[in-house]
Structure 1
Amino acid sequence: MSEIKRILQQITALSDVPDASVLKRLIDELRVTEKNPVLANRKIQSLIEVMQLHPEYGDGLASFVLKLIIQYRQIALYTDTGIMSDEGFFSSLRRLVGHRFLPLLPQDDSVVELVGYLFDQRLDEHWLASIDKDKWEVLVELLKVKKEHLDLVANAKNNILNAIVILSYRISGIGLHPDLMESYPQILNYSASFVAQNQEAVLFVNQYRQAHELDNLTDITPAQAVSPAPLLVMLEQCEDIVATVRKRIYKTGISIRLTNMMLRLDQSLQRMRILTKLVSVDGIKRDRAIIELIQTLVITANRRYSIGYLIDNNTKLLSRKVTENAGRVGEHYISTDKSGYQKMFKKASIGGFIIAFMATIKIVTYQLAIAPMARAFLNSMIYGLGFVFIHIVHGTVATKQPAMTAAAIASTISDGSGKKSHQLTKLSELVVDILRTQFIAIMGNVMMAIPVALIISYTWLHVIGVPMINTDKAGHLLHELDPFTSLALPHAAIAGVYLFLSGLIAGYYDNLAVYNNIGERVRRHWLLQYMLPKAWLERLGGFIEANLGAIMGNFIFGIFLGSTATIGFIFGLPIDIRHIAFASANLAHGLFNLAPEQMSWQIVVLSIMGVLMIGMVNLMVSFSLALFVALRSKEVQFLEWSRLAKQLLSHLLTHPSDFIWPRDKPMKYARIDSQGHMIFDDSATQNSGKPLPSNYVVRRLSDVKILPKSKLATTAETDIHYENQPQGKDINSGQEVPTTLSNTSPKKVIDLDDGLIDEELNSTPYSDDIQYDKTTKTLGNNSEYKDTGVIDATNPDSKAAGDAKTPLPKPKKPPKLPN
Structure 2
Amino acid sequence: MSELKRILQQITALSDVPDPAVLKRLIDELRVSEKETALANEKIQSLIDILRQHPEYGDGLSSFVLKLIIQYRQISLYTDTGIMSDQGFFNSLRRLIGHRFLPLLPQDDSVVELAGYLFNKRSDEKWLANIEKEKWDELVSLIRVEEKHLDLVATAKNSILNAIIILSYRISGIGLHPDLMESYPQILNYSASFVAQNQEAVLFVNQYRQAHELDSLTDITPEQAVDPAPLLVMVEQCEDIVATVRKRIYKTGISIRLTNMMLRLDQSLQRMRILTALLTESHQNRDRAVIELIQTLITTSNRRYSIGYLIDNNTKLLSRKVTENASRVGEHYISTDRAGYRQMFKKASIGGFVIAFMATLKIITYQLALAPMGRAFLNSMIYGLGFVFIHVIRGTVATKQPAMTAAAIASTISESSGKKSHQLTKLSELIVDILRTQFIAIMGNVMLAIPVALIISFAWLQYTGAPMIGSEKAGHLLHDLDPFHSLALPHAAIAGVYLFLAGLIAGYYDNLAVYNHVGARIQRHRLLKAILPEPWLKRLGGFVEANLGAIMGNFLFGVFLGSTATIGFIFGLPIDIRHIAFASANLAHGLFNLSADQVSWNVILLSILGVALIGMVNLIVSFSLALFVALRSKEVRFFEWGRLTKLIFGHIISHPSDFFWPRDKPMKYARIDSQGHMIFDDSTAVQKGSKAIPSNYVVRRLSDVRVIPKSQQASSQGSQTNTDIHYDNQPKGDAVQPHTSPTKVVDLDDGLVDEELNSSPYTDDIQYDKATKTLNTSNSDNPELTGDEVEPTSLDSKVTGDAKTPLPKPKKPPKLPS
Q: TM-score, normalised by structure 2?
A: 0.86
The match for 1:110 is 110
2:484 aligned with 1:538? no
Q: Distance in 1 between matches of 2:600 and 2:616?
A: 25
Residue 735 of structure 1 is matched in structure 2 by: none
Render the CA deviation track for 1:108-148: whole Å, top value 9, x for unaligned.
10000001100111011111111110111111010111100
- Which stretches in structure 2 are left out of the alignment for 5+ residues? 715-723, 725-745, 767-806, 810-818
Question: 1:595 is aligned with what amino acid?
Answer: S
Structure 1 residue 814: deviation in Å?
A: 3.8
Which residue of 749, 753, 758 corresponds with 1:812? 758
Deviation track 1:341-380 (CA, whole Å, cap 9, x = no partner) reads 1110110000000000100010011111111111111111
Query: Aligned partners of 1:754 and 1:434: how far apart in 2?
Result: 33
| Map 1:315-330 → 2, pairs under 5 A | 315-330=315-330
Q: Give the structure 1 partner of residue 783 of structure 2.
A: none
Q: 1:773 to 1:73 in 2, by over 3 A?
A: farther
Measured after TM superposition, the shift of residue 762 of structure 1 is: 9.0
* Of 655, 668, 686, the match for 1:701: 686
| Mapping of residues 476-625 of structure 1, within 5 Å | 476-625=476-625
Partner residue, 1:383: 383
Contact 2:699 2:749 in 1 (8 A): no
Q: Check the 8 A contact 2:277/2:285 in 1, yes or no.
A: yes
Match of 1:304 in 2: 304
Distance 1:653-1:797 versus aligned 2 partners, 3 A rule: farther
- What's 1:372 paired with? 372
Q: After superposition, what is the alpha-carbon deviation per residue over 1:291-312, rounded to whole angstroms, capped at 9, x for unaligned?
A: 1111111111110111111111
What is the CA–CA distance in structure 2 between the aligned matches of 1:355 and 1:240, rounded to whole Å?
48
Q: Is the 8 A contact 1:682 1:752 kept in 2?
A: no
Change (3 A) 1:427 1:315: farther
- Give a deviation string over 1:371-415, Cα, whole Å, max 9, x none: 111111111110000000000111000000012213322332345
CA contact (8 A) 2:706 2:749 kept: no
**1:37-436 pair list within 5 angstroms:** 37-414=37-414, 422-436=422-436
Whether the 8 Å CA contact 1:196–1:808 is kept in 2: the answer is: no
Q: What SS does structure 2 have at the residue aligned with 1:575?
A: coil
CA distance in 1, matches of 2:93, 2:6: 44
Distance 2:547 2:659 in 1: 30
For residue 767 of structure 1, report the CA deviation from its aligned partner.
12
Distance 1:57 1:298, change over 3 A: same
SS class of match (1:618): helix
Instruction: Check 1:93–1:764 CA distance in 2 against 1; reply closer, same or farther (3 A cut).
Output: closer
Moved more, 414-423 or 615-624: 414-423
* Corresponding residue SS for 1:413: helix
User: In the aligned structure 1, how far is the partner of 2:701 from the partner of 2:50?
Assistant: 59
- Quote the offset at 1:431 in angstroms: 1.9
Cα separation, partners in 2 of 1:766 and 1:126, compared to 1, 3 Å: closer
Alpha-carbon distance in structure 1 between the residues aligned to 2:369 and 2:236: 68
Cα 1:298–1:649 shift into 2, 3 Å:
farther
1:775 shift after superposition = 4.5
SS in 1 for 2:757: coil
Given the superposition, is the C-alpha separation of residues 778 and 219 from structure 1 closer, same or farther in structure 2, using an over 3 Å criterion?
A: farther
Equivalent position of 1:734 in the other structure: none
Rounded to whole Å, the distance in 1 between the matches of 2:410 and 2:322 is 10
- Cα pair distance change 1:229/1:618, threshold 3 Å: same
CA distance in 2, matches of 1:312, 1:131: 25
- Is the counterpart of residue 444 in structure 1 residue 447 in structure 2? no
Aligned to 2:719: none
Structure 1 residues not aligned, in runs of 5+ = 687-699, 703-721, 723-750, 756-760, 781-785, 787-795, 801-805
Give distance in 2, aligned partners of 1:506 and 1:778.
62
Question: Contact 2:409 / 2:627 at 8 angstroms: preserved in 1?
Answer: yes
- The 3-state SS of whatever aligns with 1:639 is coil
Q: 1:372 to 1:701 in 2, by over 3 A?
A: same
Query: 2:294, 2:118 → 1: CA distance?
Result: 12
Looking at structure 2, the residues matched to 247 and 418 of structure 1 have their Cα atoms a distance apart, in angstroms, of: 22
| Distance in 1 between residues matched to 2:175 and 2:675, nearest whole Å | 36
Amino acid at match of 1:701: V
Partner residue of 1:740? Answer: none
| CA-CA distance at 1:322 after TM superposition | 1.2
- State whether residues 708 and 753 of structure 2, in contact with CA within 8 Å, keep that contact through their aligned partners in structure 1: no
Q: Aligned partner of 1:81: which letter?
A: T
CA pair 534-491 structure 1, distance change in 2 beyond 3 A: same
Q: What does the per-residue CA deviation read over 1:428-481, in whole Å, with 9 as the maximum and x for residues that have no partner?
A: 322221111111100110011001111111111111111111100100000000
- 1:418 deviates by 5.9
Contact 2:190 2:697 in 1 (8 A): no
What is the DSSP-based 3-state SS (H/G/I as helix, E as strand, rest coil) of the residue aligned with 1:318? helix
Aligned with 2:522: secondary structure?
A: helix
User: 1:699-745 deviations in whole A, cap 9, x for unaligned?
Assistant: x526xxxxxxxxxxxxxxxxxxx7xxxxxxxxxxxxxxxxxxxxxxx
Whole-angstrom distance in 2 between the partners of 1:762 and 1:519: 32
Q: Amino acid of the residue matched to residue 491 of structure 1?
A: H
User: C-alpha separation between the residues in 1 aligned to 2:418 and 2:280?
Assistant: 27
Instruction: Say if 1:810 and 1:469 are closer, same or farther in 2 by CA, change over 3 A.
Output: farther
Q: 1:191-224 deviations in whole A, cap 9, x for unaligned?
A: 1100000000010000001001111101111000
State the shift of 1:95 in Å.
0.6
Q: In 1, Cα distance between the equivalents of 2:415 and 2:317?
A: 16
**Where do 1:627-776 residues align within 5 Å?**
627-637=627-637, 639-681=639-681, 701=686, 752=690, 754=692, 769=702, 773-775=707-709
**Counterpart-to-counterpart distance in 1, 2:595 and 2:44:** 76
| Distance in 1 (alpha carbons) for counterparts of 2:427 and 2:23 | 45
Distance 1:576 1:538 in 2: 42
Equivalent AA in structure 1 for residue 605 of structure 2: V
Aligned alpha-carbon RMSD (Å): 2.6
**Structure-2 change in CA distance of 1:78 and 1:334 (3 Å):** same
Distance 2:681 2:57 in 1: 59
State how far apart, in whole Å, the 2-side matches of 1:270 and 1:534 are.
50
1:762–1:815 distance in 2 versus 1, CA, 3 Å: closer
> Once the 2 structures are TM-superposed, how far is the Cα of residue 426 of structure 1 from its aligned partner?
3.1
Residue 371 to residue 809, structure 1, CA distance change in 2 (3 Å): farther
- Contact 2:190-2:698 within 8 A present in 1 as well: no
Q: Take 1:146 and 1:764, find their aligned partners in 2: how far apart are those partners?
A: 43
| Paired AA for residue 138 in structure 1 | E
Q: Post-superposition shift, 1:808?
A: 9.3
SS at structure 2 position matched to 1:535: helix
Which residue is equivalent to 1:474?
A: 474
Give the Cα separation in 1 of the matches to 2:80 and 2:107: 14
Structure 1 CA distance for aligned equivalents of residues 584 and 180 of structure 2 = 49
- What's the offset of the Cα at 1:810? 7.2
Kept after mapping to 1: 8 A contact 2:706/2:748 = no
Paired AA for residue 49 in structure 1 = D
Give the corresponding residue for 1:737. Answer: none
Q: Secondary structure at the match of 1:558?
A: helix
- The size of the alignment, in residue pairs, is 733
**Cα distance, 1:326 vs structure 2:** 2.0
Structure 1 residue 20 and structure 2 residue 20: aligned? Answer: yes
Q: Distance in 2 between matches of 1:260 and 1:777?
A: 44
- Please identify the structure whose Cα radius of gyration is greater: 2
